[in-house]
Amino acid sequence: MSLDFLSQKYESLDYDQCENYYFLLEQRQQQRNLNILRNKGFKRWIVILFIGILTALTACGIVIATDKLASYKFHFLMTKMNQCDNSSFCYTPLFYWMGINATLVAIGSIMVTYWAPVAAGSGIPVVKCYLNGVKVPEVVRFKTFVSKAVGVIFSVVGGLATGKEGPMIHCGAVIAAGVSQGKSTTFKKDTHLLDEFKDDREKRDFVSAGAAAGVAAAFGAPIGGVLFSLEEGASFWNQALTWRIFFCSMITTFTLNIVLSIYHNHAGQLSYPGLINFGKFGEINYAIYEIPIYAFLGAIGGILGALHNSINLRLSMIRLKYINRNWSKVAESVFISIFTCSIAYSLIYLDEDCHKKELLSLNETIRAGCKESEFSVMSYLWLATPEATISRLFHSDDDMWTWKTLLIFFVCYFFLATWTYGISVSSGLFIPSLIVGATGGRLFYLLVKHTLPDESDWADGCKFALIGAAAMLGGVVRMTISLTVIMIETTGNITFGPPIMITLIVSKWVGDYFNHESIYDIHIRLAAIPFLYWEPPSLSTTVYASEIMSAPVVALRSVEKVDRIIQVLENETHNGFPVVDTEEFDFTESGSSLEPSYSSPAHYGRFRGLILRWQLIVLLQEKIFNENDEYHKITAGTFRDAYPRYPPIEKIINLITDQERQYSIDLRPVMNPSPYSMSHTASLNRIFQLFRALGLRHLVIVNDYNEVVGIVTRKDIARYRQHCHRGKLFLQTLQISV
């Protein structure tokens, strides 16, 4: 099976403003009036405030629900396990465990698979795509939000090797999109309060704030949130926007901390250390000779991360090929959940590593073959939510751990995490990567400690657990500055920032040596999404616009027959049509594409503007024909009301009478009169930069006489990837073979 890289499923978003007559008219009426401007600015802050608060409340809901449910589940299981005979393997609790997990994961998976498939996975790839300018269907819909938020509770409590951080980020993005539009498609309700924010660009800005709020909520990391939003999403850094994003993620952090401080019975004490996600690290000392060790761990993390991504890519391709029915997706999720708890249960009973029960807080452990007053270390790792496991790996004493237990746990969790990411449940991968890394870090520490001649206190294991976690996560997600800040903020320790940075830098370098894509980029590629990376492929200077553009172009005349517009809309799937001068051409009324009137080079009329499909549909729907002379009825609002979903052309046709089909429409006041255009001699490099920097959806290619010769869309550009063969680089159109 070979998927064409350009999946037809994905449309593009348009971050370039259409400055048509009605838009300019509205702007001119409004903009001299300072009050309207101030009002808009004020509304924007209010919307941001609500996004921040709602994201925090959602996150609180997820955190508290997960916490409570997991706690019930583990207590129930522990009671059952403690009822067992201590000497022999006991099956009853395992069946209970399997039953509970399978049920929970089944519910979560059914919800995602049947109701909102886009809610599967972490959500970070789709948010990235949205900010990049790709319209992944249903990505910011209310039902996606519900599946994502509720689904992640089921998958985490259901014992899968997943985290809730990615889904929280996606939830933040959906909240932002919903709140900023003041309307919901699912509820068919439009408050019309926020009509001025109804365009792709405004919505994108709010969504980037929502994503930042999501990170802030997931990790308690407001600055990390802003950086995440910028590193993964933004193309044009705007100070005012950053400023709002920052405010949003700060509001989220505050709201979250206030609610959680009440939940933890420390109401209002915002500096209560329990609010720090993975437990607060105290003073960590380090000396210069430790730096190479951190770099080494970073390298190991990079290798493991690359391995993780590579295995996951192969698994995902197998999934694409064989597990493509809904029931099989649910079945796989349920199978993994059962498998996970079987592994966990076996390890708890088979691994004989026991530890003295000194700490009172360890009530979430069981004996499982250990002596009285001891507990199984494996149960300490498995019988907890993934976040608690991280906290335990980070903060417990060094004498808790033996290399055997850590090694077994490390290997099992690595493969579980690799296998789990990509199944049809709402699931994040930050937490599993951190668990694997922290275990690896502790393991490394134990090995080094044993090989060193004197077992002196040259360092402590907590430090290495943290470094290991950073290294592994860095190798998997390949983020740099935002990840550094997130790690610093979640551990509440800044002194140890530089070692974390070193680790992450080396980890990314080494990971990139093996494969250039982060796990998110892999899934974006697998979904065949026309994503534009930061930089054009370096060979793109060798390709000309004339080679990448689509031609022939379907152009409309500035005053066009209704009949032809309907035909064009019916026969063509394009979203934008160049408008050309009427005088010079004699169109055959029947044909949808224009024949060039000069022999060479082929062109389609003098370029005057660009009109979008939905604008044409609105014109037809409102029956704005020259013969009716009702242009005065249109305002900028007429077009905005249709945003973001316009009716398909099939619904409109029935409204148009045969008489009306002979009418004509003047497209000039509606079209964008000064869209960006490029000469046919421009290189792909130049076109790429224009698209990326300005968030374009279409670019018309003109010849030296300003006559339309082609049109370039995002897909035409995203198609070009670079590959390397025997030290030589080639540009090619990417295909994915499954």
Of 198 and 606, the one with the shorter C-beta distance to its own copies is: 606
Of 61 and 492, the one with the shorter C-beta distance to its own copies is: 492
The DSSP secondary structure of 167-214, one letter per residue, reads: HHHHHHHHHHHHHHHTEETTTTEE--TTGGG-SHHHHHHHHHHHHHHH
Neighbour tally for 474: CB within 10 Å:
31
Q: Which of 464, 460, 354 is nearest to 402 (CA)?
A: 354
Give the shortest CB-736-to-its own copies separation in angstroms. 23
What are the C-alpha distances in Å from 679 to residues 487, 637, 707?
A: 47, 34, 10
206-225: contacts with its own copies (CB under 8 A)? 222-223
Of 303 and 694, the one with the shorter C-beta distance to its own copies is: 694
33 counts as binding its own copies under rule CB under 8 A: yes
Neighbour tally for 507: CB within 10 Å:
35
Contact pick of 46, 240, 318, 411 for its own copies (by CB under 8 A): 240
Of 312 and 484, the one with the shorter C-beta distance to its own copies is: 484
What are the C-alpha distances in Å from 128 to residues 125, 212, 242, 342, 462?
A: 5, 12, 17, 35, 33
Give the shortest CB-610-to-its own copies separation in angstroms. 11
| Residues that contact its own copies, how many (by CB under 8 A) | 100
- Beta-strand pair 720-725/728-733: antiparallel
316-355: contacts with its own copies (CB under 8 A)? none
The single-letter DSSP state of residue 550 is B
584 counts as binding its own copies under rule CB under 8 A: no
Give the shortest CB-270-to-its own copies separation in angstroms. 6
Of 226 and 334, the one with the shorter C-beta distance to its own copies is: 226
Q: Which of 457, 463, 514 is nearest to 300 (CA)?
A: 514
Sign of CA dihedral 8, 13, 17, 19: positive
492 counts as binding its own copies under rule CB under 8 A: yes
Q: Which of 654, 628, 663 is nearest to 570 (CA)?
A: 654
Backbone dihedral region of 256: left (phi > 0), alpha (psi from -120 to 50 degrees) or beta? alpha
Give the shortest CB-702-to-its own copies separation in angstroms. 7
Give the shortest CB-432-to-its own copies separation in angstroms. 24
CA torsion 271→273→275→277, rounded to 10°?
Answer: 140
27 counts as binding its own copies under rule CB under 8 A: yes
Q: Which of 581, 656, 589 is nearest to 616 (CA)?
A: 656
Query: Which residue reads 């790839």 in tokens?
Result: 125
531-550: contacts with its own copies (CB under 8 A)? 534-535, 538-539, 541-542, 545
432-491: contacts with its own copies (CB under 8 A)? 480-481, 484-485, 488-489
363 counts as binding its own copies under rule CB under 8 A: no
250-269: contacts with its own copies (CB under 8 A)? 250, 253-254, 257-258, 261, 268-269
- The span of 90-98, 171-179, 277-285, 320-328 binding its own copies (CB under 8 A) equals 277-285
Distance CA 718, CA 738 (A): 20
- The span of 72-80, 87-95, 630-638, 686-694 binding its own copies (CB under 8 A) equals 686-694
Q: Which of 243, 222, 245 is nearest to 233 (CA)?
A: 245
The DSSP secondary structure of 490-545, one letter per residue, reads: HHT-STTHHHHHHHHHHHHHHHHHH-S--HHHHHHHHTT-----SS--GGGGGSBH
Contact pick of 179, 259, 690, 709 for its own copies (by CB under 8 A): 690
Q: Which two tokens stand for residue 302?
A: 């990079």
Give the shortest CB-518-to-its own copies separation in angstroms. 11
Contact pick of 589, 629, 727, 737 for its own copies (by CB under 8 A): 727
Instruction: Provide the mask over 495-514, with x wherever binding to its own copies is found by CB under 8 A and - wherever it is not.
Output: xxxx--xx--x--x------
Phi and psi at residue 423, to the nearest 5°? -75, 170
Contact pick of 46, 193, 270, 318 for its own copies (by CB under 8 A): 270
Of 251 and 323, the one with the shorter C-beta distance to its own copies is: 251
CA atoms within 13 A on the CB side of 457: 5
Of 357 and 686, the one with the shorter C-beta distance to its own copies is: 686
- The span of 20-28, 94-102, 172-180, 335-343 binding its own copies (CB under 8 A) equals 20-28
- Beta-strand pair 677-679/698-702: parallel
Contact pick of 704, 733, 735, 738 for its own copies (by CB under 8 A): 704
- The span of 288-296, 306-314, 566-574, 616-624 binding its own copies (CB under 8 A) equals 288-296
Distance CA 612, CA 644 (A): 13
Is residue 166 within 8 Å of residue 124, measured between CB atoms?
Answer: yes
Distance CA 461, CA 438 (A): 10
606 counts as binding its own copies under rule CB under 8 A: yes
Q: Tell me the sheet residues that pair with 358.
A: none
> Cα 309 to chain center, whole Å?
17
Of 538 and 628, the one with the shorter C-beta distance to its own copies is: 538
Of 319 and 508, the one with the shorter C-beta distance to its own copies is: 508
> H or E segment at 712?
strand 708-713
Contact pick of 87, 287, 361, 590 for its own copies (by CB under 8 A): 287
Distance CA 35, CA 715 (A): 41
Contact pick of 39, 82, 238, 735 for its own copies (by CB under 8 A): 238
Contact pick of 32, 188, 450, 645 for its own copies (by CB under 8 A): 32
229 counts as binding its own copies under rule CB under 8 A: no
Of 209 and 488, the one with the shorter C-beta distance to its own copies is: 488
Of 209 and 485, the one with the shorter C-beta distance to its own copies is: 485
- The span of 183-191, 566-574, 612-620, 725-733 binding its own copies (CB under 8 A) equals 725-733
The single-letter DSSP state of residue 426 is B
Give the shortest CB-708-to-its own copies separation in angstroms. 12
Give the shortest CB-291-to-its own copies separation in angstroms. 8
Give the shortest CB-243-to-its own copies separation in angstroms. 5
What are the C-alpha distances in Å from 1 to residues 128, 516, 722?
A: 27, 24, 22
657 counts as binding its own copies under rule CB under 8 A: no
Distance CA 17, CA 27 (A): 12
- The span of 25-33, 449-457, 638-646, 708-716 binding its own copies (CB under 8 A) equals 25-33
Of 205 and 364, the one with the shorter C-beta distance to its own copies is: 205
Contact pick of 471, 702, 708, 718 for its own copies (by CB under 8 A): 702
Give the shortest CB-682-to-its own copies separation in angstroms. 4
- The span of 135-143, 551-559, 624-632, 679-687 binding its own copies (CB under 8 A) equals 679-687
- b/e for 272-293, b at 16 or more Cβ within 10 A? beebbbbbbbeeeebeeebeeb
> Cα 617 to chain center, whole Å?
31
Give the shortest CB-494-to-its own copies separation in angstroms. 5
Of 283 and 650, the one with the shorter C-beta distance to its own copies is: 283
